[in-house]
Amino acid sequence: MDTKIPNILLIYTGGTIGMIKDYKTNALKAFNFKKIKEKIPELNLLDCEIQTISFDLPIDSSNMNPEYWVNIANIIQENYYKMDGFVVLTGTDTMSYTASALSFMFENLNKPIIFTGSQLPIGDLRTDAKENLITAIQIATTQEDNLPLITEVGLYFEYKLYRANRTTKISADHFDAFNSPNFPPLAESGVHLNFNRSLLKKQSNIQKLKVRKKIDDSIVILKLFPGINKKVVQCILEIPDLKGVVLETYGSGNAPTSKWFLDLLKKTVDKKIPVINVTQCIYGSVLMGLYETSNELKKMGVIDGKDITTESAIAKLKYLIGEKVSSSEFGNIFQTSLRGEMS
């Protein structure tokens, strides 16, 4: 059977991975990714063609926002039928948010979109950038019967490929910076690159790609803590034009039973503002109604976020509000796994 060499588009948005040190001044400056094979000659061993696109002004991940998500989506959409896979380089601090958002924005995806980055600049002596980049590209090129093996948005970091919308950043100073608390890795890189094939999403080639770019950012996170007072909660829940709330609760979805707290939440729900219950715990799931402290939330119509991460809940909420999902359907749709983001 004839096989064609995969074409991979490398998209650099900003972040540590794209920095190199000027050894005369010791300052970090943006790397020219058009010269990527000169900096990482090992890429020549991969049987693929690599093209690159960089943002005109690389952005720090702390400045990442939905406008940039749409920019990334536009680049991928414009090149979707010319390329066999995409590798997106961003800063690590908000990578889980961005990668989760892209997973919802691309419906009927049939090609890999792999996010990666690094903890140290690409020009650093001990950098993790080379391994992350080389293996992310290799994953994006992996095919079976001339079709990509990965057909979803992934995040590759420190020898593991995760489903992007299941990830969270867990370390600021270790190379093993990401984890997927409630879902196993899609692949692990060691002596061999091993894919957990039973977990990979399978898409129908018949369905046409749809790119959803209406992202609404009129949402807020309300993180509970012992002693949170009425004035704080009221200020948050009564923000003008608020359209959605991610409520970070304790344990399996538990919250205070104070009358003022429940009244403010019910008032919010009654205004048709979706309130999503997610756990502050890294591992585990919301189980509303298991304890009395979550039963009232369930009764008033707070939406069960199950085992979704906060990052993915934010992305999904922005996406569904942007798509103008009706209040009558919102709860059922949010509680349905759309891109493998919840169990």
Per-residue DSSP letter, 232: H
Q: Is 94 a catalytic residue?
A: no
Closest to 69 (Cα-Cα) out of 98, 97, 111: 98
Token code pair at residue 122: 């690409």
Amino acid at 30: A
- Dihedral over Cα of 35, 9, 123, 68: its sign: positive
> Dihedrals φ, ψ of 115, to 5°?
-90, 140
> Dihedrals φ, ψ of 21, to 5°?
-95, 135
Q: Where are the beta strands (DSSP E) in the chain?
A: 7-12, 19-22, 27-30, 49-54, 85-89, 106-107, 113-116, 143-144, 147-148, 153-157, 160-163, 168-169, 178-179, 187-189, 193-195, 210-211, 219-223, 244-249, 275-279, 303-304
Amino acid at 262: L
Rg over alpha carbons for the chain, rounded to the nearest Å, is: 21
- How many Å apart are CA 242 and CA 7, to the nearest integer? 43
User: Which of the following is catalytic: 13, 16, 90, 268?
Assistant: 16
Residues whose CB falls within 8 Å of the CB of residue 94, separated by 6 or more in sequence, listed in order: 61, 62, 64
Per-residue DSSP letter, 5: P
Amino acid at 148: P
| Distance (Å) of CA 242 to CA 117, 176, 216, 318 | 33, 36, 10, 12
The catalytic site residues sit at 16
